[in-house]
Amino acid sequence: MPKHRISKKHRTLAMAAGGVLLLGAGALTAQASSSSGAAAPAAPARPVALAKPAAFTGRAFDTCTAPTLAQMKAWKTASPYGAAAVYIGGKNRGCAQPQLTASWTKSVSAAGWKLIPLYVGAQPPCKSGSNPEKMTAASAASLGAADGADAAAKASALGMRPGGAVYLDMEGFDKTNTSCKQTVLTYTRAWNKALHAKAYRTGFYGFVSSSATAVAAESPGTDMPDAIWYAAYDGTASTTTDYPFGTKWAGHRRGHQYAVEKKETYGGVTLTVDHNAWDSLVAVVAK
């Protein structure tokens, strides 16, 4: 997966035409008072129209702990990468993030980087190993809603504005386990809905062998991810060659993690990173 890392080893709402995404926004409902002073029924929820989303096409990397600003500047000058994934939160985020502040986000963005915020939420109930937060069939909806709200708050605190994307990291599981799969889908829908309510777009990181395929089978659909980030370690830096989901998530909404744990040196700075071909949504960073 993107190494969030639950362990050191581990690693869409449909868009309307023209790049405009309509999101339900209960926050826009209002109550009108009648002449008698009694509150009239709330008006129906109106969709929020978001402008064309921010996207990046090129190579991206992800690494466990966000590099320092100096390291990011060195890599921006010398490396082939133009975007970097950062782990903004979630109880299953496995690495400390001493660099990750609103100031860092602003400075890195000003240096030319596009950022891909990743949230490591509750993991599947049938996933092996221990995680600080695992969902159950009973808790999936409430956990998804709480974690989605937390992801929006974390992104906002880092200067990542509504309109940009936040990706949910979902590890692999046995996709033949119907109960487990449905629990993951329930959680994912609730997580997406919570972020959509805050006017963020959502992405989903998962494995072609399990989690990404489970979501792809349901997408497009209500509260499905707006973008897919799929892990298929074939060494092919492309989001179209051997793309496994047909025509789904077309239009700059695909990321492909194609290699992991690669040590590279650019500008005198050595980092161990995962490789991604990127043609998808990214964060919108406050200036």
pLDDT cut 90: percent of the chain above it = 77
User: What pLDDT shows up at residue 52?
Assistant: 65
> Which helix (H) or strand (E) segment is 186 a member of?
helix 178-197
Specify the amino acid at residue 82: G
Alpha carbon separation from 46 to 24, 118, 204, 225 (Å, rounded): 6, 28, 25, 20
CA 205 to the chain's CA centroid: 7
Is pLDDT larger for residue 79 or for residue 36?
A: 79
Q: What is the pLDDT of residues 152-206, one digit of tens each?
A: 999 999 999 999 999 999 999 998 999 999 999 999 999 999 999 999 999 999 9
Whole-number Å distance between alpha carbons of 25 and 43: 12
Instruction: State the Cα–Cα distance between residues 153 and 179, nearest whole angstrom.
Output: 30
Report the C-alpha gap between 89 and 148 in whole angstroms.
11
Q: Would you say residue 287 has pLDDT above 90? A: no
Q: What pLDDT does 31 receive?
A: 27
DSSP 141-167: HHHHHHHHHHHHHHHHHTTEEBTBEEE
Q: What is the pLDDT of residue 3?
A: 47
Per the prediction, the chain carries an average pLDDT of: 85
For residues 276 and 150, what is the distance between their CA atoms, to the nearest angstrom? 26
Give the Cα separation of 168 and 140 in Å (integer).
14
